[in-house]
Structure formats: C-alpha cells, structure tokens
Structure 1
C-alpha cells in the first residue's frame, strides 16, 4: 500500500474502478485508528448541484499516473454509504460503511471510532 502522506497529494484526482471507469474525484483519506494506515477514501460523485461523498476501501488500491484505481466496481462504490460534501461520518455510521463492502468491523481502542479523516 502507498503511504498516507502521499495519498493527500492525490486529492482531486480521478478514482477509477478495475475496468478503468471513472467513479469520481478523490476528496479525502480516512485512516484506520488501529494502525494509522489508509483504510477508506471519500470520492466525490454525482451531478452539478447534487454531489455527495461516497466511501470506498483503499485495500488493494493502486495508483496510476493520473488516478487511483480501487478494486471495487463503479456501481458498488456509487451505491455506498455517503455524506454531504461538507458532512462528517458519524461514528455510529461506520459499521454501515464496512458492511457495504463485506469488511469485518470492530470499534477502535476502548470503543473509539475506527476511521479518522486525514
């Protein structure tokens, strides 16, 4: 996996699916609070006036010269749990994000939230 500090440089770049279809633009990176590694990204999707941010796992993601390629198809990503452009993921909603991708969920240390925005 690529270092979190490098991922911040990809903000605004395209996020594509395994077939090369554009999903949207990388908005933010969320790290796993258990290991401080990049875990999810938010991707800006939608149409003019109706944009939202969807979550996609970064496990297995790769970078190309002008995009981040995730291992999930466009339809699955665009159907993922979302937040408003200026919104924040509530700790109580984290399990829903993980479940959408069939990723096991457990809370962070002492029941703390699992994802932190970088």
Structure 2
C-alpha cells in the first residue's frame, strides 16, 4: 500500500506507464476523501511552453527509486481530463476523471467531493 507521506516524496520524479515509458513528472497527489488514502496523482505533461496536468489513478502504482509506475498506458493517461498548472479541478469536472478510467465515482452523501489535495 502507498502511504500519503511516501508518495509526496516522489514529487517531480518521473511517472512511468505500465510498460516503463515516461509519461511526465509527478506534480501532486489527491486522496479519496472517504478513506484518506492516495487515489490519484496529477502528472505534468506537454511542451515547456504548454504544460498541463493530467490525472492518473494510483491503484496498483509501484514506487521505484526515482519513479512512480502506474498501471495505465501512456496514451490513456495523456488523454485524461486535464487542467492548467495553476488551476484547481472544478467540482463539476471531478466525475469525468473517474469516467475516463472506467472507475466508479462516489461523492459524499451530501455531494462532497471524492478527491482532495492534502
């Protein structure tokens, strides 16, 4: 299991896909608000003048000495919902992140967000 304290130490390290291809750099970790466990990461991708952040699930991720390897292909991750490097994920777009990866989306009973950046 990846603990929140562990994964935060990998900020700026490479994020690799299931085949070991580099996707980008780890920017932030989002936790599931119901469990407080790491659920998604944002990955910095794009050209130096046109960076953006894409979301990738951390389920089954592996931490290496200088990388985080996720269990999703590079193409799927790069086509995931994204945001600008200075933006915050709007609540109404959160479900699209889960849908992109065919994951169930379960907001709180009062409509609270499922993801939070600690």
Task: Give the TM-score taking structure 2 as reference length.
Answer: 0.97
Structure 1 counterpart of 2:35: 35
Q: Describe how 1:1-118 pairs up with structure 2 within 5 A.
A: 1-118=1-118
C-alpha root-mean-square deviation of aligned residues, in Å? Answer: 0.7
Aligned residues: 118
Q: Give 5+ residue unaligned stretches, structure 1.
A: none
Task: Show structure 2 runs of 5+ residues with no match.
Answer: none
Output the CA distance in 2 between the equivalents of 1:108 and 1:7.
25
Partner Cα distance (2:117, 2:34) in 1: 13
Q: Give the structure-1-normalised TM-score.
A: 0.97
Aligned-partner Cα distance in 2 for 1:60–1:88: 25
